[in-house]
Structure 1
Amino acid sequence: MPSDVQARSDRTWSRRAWLQTAGAAALGAGLVSPSRDARAASLEVGRPAPALVLHTIDGHSISTEDLRGHVVILTFWATWCGPCHQELPLLSDYAAKHADRGLRVLGFSLDEPASLPAVREMAAAWSFPVGLLGSAYAGGYGRVWRIPVNFTIDRNGLLADNGWDSHEPAWTTERLERIVTPLLR
């Protein structure tokens, strides 16, 4: 087999193997570069944030539109995402500490419905509601092609931080203090 054909075959195999290992919810995350359209080109800091509804694992629905007056973080994650395991406990602690100042976090899992027990197990330790996204498409936020990715909405419903624009999208203490804490004042 010619080397370029073998290389394509090896790439195809590695993608297939990765998807089987990571689960169908991977949806190609990190395997291909997204097009501008996939990144929700209309997202712009300072402009109205697209509305999104979280259908929680305990049967409630929470709309970002109903959270006006609060600072809202939308976090997209999955049980199979290593960086998410580091980020989400930190985000949960921060959210609990700042809930009385009007912070709300909505967690959208990219896991498949068959992984609901694992999602429930992880979410049980967190201070914010979680639900399954249901597909890789998150309305006006576009196709979720990498995780973790987060978006922050200010008290007026304006996008304050666009996760697609961040080179290091996972939350750290420093990043939370720099981006979210000023919005809580």
Structure 2
Amino acid sequence: MSATRYTRMTHLWQHITALVLLAASTSMAFASELRTGQPAPAITLDTLDGRHIPLETLRGKTVILTFWATWCDPCRNELPLLSHYAQEHAQDNLVVLGFSLDTPDTLAQVREVASRLSFPTGLLGDPHVPGYGRIWRLPVSFVIDRNGLLVHDGWKDKQPEFTRERLERVVTPLLEKPSH
């Protein structure tokens, strides 16, 4: 290989490395935008039945955003639990929104899982979610209070899936009637 060709290839690899690092840092920057006690980043669920549910329209409700996939084993445990919890607390203004990381070619499996859930579900489409970062670990969930503030950042959970105990500790206190 000639010295000129070697130099060009070295520069090309340097540029590729720089782009990869930039992409990784941008993804990390999105995730680092999350701050508990601050307004939750905007997101809209496009449901399997064609509805659009923007987070900002749910002000006054406690919201759990959960990201899952049909191929995710821990999700299979968490989804029925979240579904039951959502049913139990629907009268307490709890809303769960499910974002599936599955691709359109597995839509039949997503619909099958969603048919057993009590909350709306849709395909995420792109794992890079502005404000929440790149969804790389499943399941991951975020909790937003009635005022639209992020109160639980799922990226900080050592165990990713919600348990009944964690729901009782994190979400149930938010469901209490606000004092006037």
Please indicate the TM-score interval, normalised by the length of the shorter structure.
0.7 to 0.9
**What corresponds to 1:40 in structure 2?**
31
Q: 2:83 is matched with which residue: 79, 87, 92?
A: 92
Alignment-mate amino acid for residue 63 of structure 1:
P
SS in 1 for 2:89: helix
Distance, in Å, in 2 between the alignment partners of 1:61 and 1:156 is: 20
Are residue 184 (structure 1) and residue 175 (structure 2) matched?
Answer: yes
Q: Following TM superposition, where does structure 1 have runs of at least 4 consecutive aligned residues deviating by more than 6 angstroms?
A: 33-36
Structure 1 or 2, whichever has the larger Rg, is: 2
SS in 2 for 1:169: coil
> How far is 1:175 from its partner?
0.3
Q: Deviations over 1:2-42 (max 9, x none)?
A: xxxxxxxxxxxxxxxxxxxxxxxxxxxxxxx9987166111
Distance, in Å, in 1 between the alignment partners of 2:25 and 2:82 is: 26
> How far is 1:168 from its partner?
1.3
Alignment-mate amino acid for residue 161 of structure 1:
H
Does structure 1 retain, via aligned residues, the 8 Å contact 2:27–2:134?
no
Alignment-mate amino acid for residue 113 of structure 2:
M
Q: Deviations over 1:32-55 (max 9, x none)?
A: x99871661110100000010000
Does structure 2 retain, via aligned residues, the 8 Å contact 1:34–1:145?
no
Q: What is the correspondence of 1:130-149 to structure 2 with a 5 Å cutoff?
A: 130-149=121-140
Are residue 68 (structure 1) and residue 63 (structure 2) matched?
Answer: no
> How far is 1:135 from its partner?
1.1
Q: What is the correspondence of 1:11-160 to structure 2 with a 5 Å cutoff?
A: 37=28, 40-160=31-151
Distance 1:35 1:163, change over 3 A: farther
> How far is 1:129 from its partner?
0.2
Q: Tell me how large the CA RMSD over aligned residues is.
A: 1.5
TM-score by length of 2: 0.82
Distance, in Å, in 1 between the alignment partners of 2:29 and 2:139 is: 16
> How far is 1:139 from its partner?
1.9
SS in 2 for 1:84: helix
Does structure 2 retain, via aligned residues, the 8 Å contact 1:39–1:164?
no
TM-score by length of 1: 0.80
* Residue-pair matches, total: 153
Distance 1:77 1:124, change over 3 A: same
